[in-house]
Amino acid sequence: MEEPVSRMKQRARDETTSVTKIYSQEVVKTRLENPGISTGLIFPSLSSIDASLYRMRSKRYPTLPKCLTDLSLPEEWKLTKKGQPFFLVDEACNHSIWRKIQELGLSRLVSSSRREINDDDHKKADRWVLGAIDLALIPPSLVETTWVSLMNDYTPKNYQVASQFNDFMVSTYVENDSTRFGVDIWNVYEAIVNRRLRTNNHVEGYNRQMKAEFPIHPHIDQFIETLRMEHEYQHHIAEASQVQLRRRKKIYDQIDIKLVTWREEHMNKK
């Protein structure tokens, strides 16, 4: 039984697979390779060797912290593969206009079935919601006055929660002096003018890609090592992008053309 136990120790040192799983896998492998051997009679129990397996693991992987205050990254984990400072930034905004609409139960006002309201009220509600979304496309200097006009002209009547949505828009996105997310963060008018990216679709795609790189509960060492490898790979992608242009889908070019056309029409009316 020395060979399978040796393999267990090797795997415990080199992998982040749980010790229990390594043990069971090696038992099964031994039984399949040696059909005539009753492993249950001669194989060491997990409880008799797990301590030695964990000792092997600790030679490469630090003990997992029991709480946040116990977390201390080794110096080499704070550097890239080339020994340069490696910083991780995690910023996210969990607020979205459509999720707020749904949260307040207002999505039925713009539903295609629109059974609860008449056609005129439905059209007004459409203008109200779409107007909120379209604030991202107009010049930043017009955002506040445009939203005031939309509130005055199109806020659905007889829906008390509609005022809650208006308050949410003002405090979160619109009011210049006290808004939670300034216009410069979410408004893409300048991106339209300068033909830059307007959405975070590429970020969402990258998030899905990164999610596929990790198991459900990765060891912190494996997590950081994967990020360091990805950091190096992204340098390759950045270099390749200088000589290999990625073709955009035609539909996105058409959207860009429409937005630029609407902007020019708006400028000509001024």
Q: 216-255, pLDDT tens digit by residue?
A: 777 777 788 888 888 877 777 777 777 766 677 788 778 8
Q: Domain count for the chain, please give it.
A: 3
Q: Is residue 163 part of a domain?
A: yes
Is 86 exposed, middle or buried (CB count within 10 Å of its CB: 0-12, 13-18, 19+)? middle
- Dihedral angle of Cα 224, 226, 230, 232, to the nearest 10 degrees: 70
Q: Are residues 102 and 164 in the same domain?
A: yes
Please tell me the predicted confidence (pLDDT) of residue 153.
92
Q: Is residue 102 part of a domain?
A: yes
Q: Is residue 204 part of a domain?
A: no
Q: Is residue 188 part of a domain?
A: no
Q: Are residues 38 and 99 in the same domain?
A: no
Distances from the Cα of 218 to the Cα of 48, 87, 115, 231, angstroms = 26, 19, 49, 18
Q: Is residue 239 part of a domain?
A: yes
- Dihedral angle of Cα 86, 90, 91, 96, to the nearest 10 degrees: 140
Please tell me the predicted confidence (pLDDT) of residue 263.
76
Q: Is residue 77 part of a domain?
A: no
List, for residues 174-191, the tens digit of each pLDDT value. Answer: 887 778 888 888 888 888
3-state secondary structure of 144: helix
Q: Is residue 181 part of a domain?
A: no
Q: Are residues 163 and 230 in the same domain?
A: no
- Structural domain range at position 159: 93-174
Q: Are residues 222 and 165 in the same domain?
A: no
Q: Across all residues in the chain, what is the average pLDDT?
A: 79
Distance between CA 154 and CA 166 in Å, rounded? 11
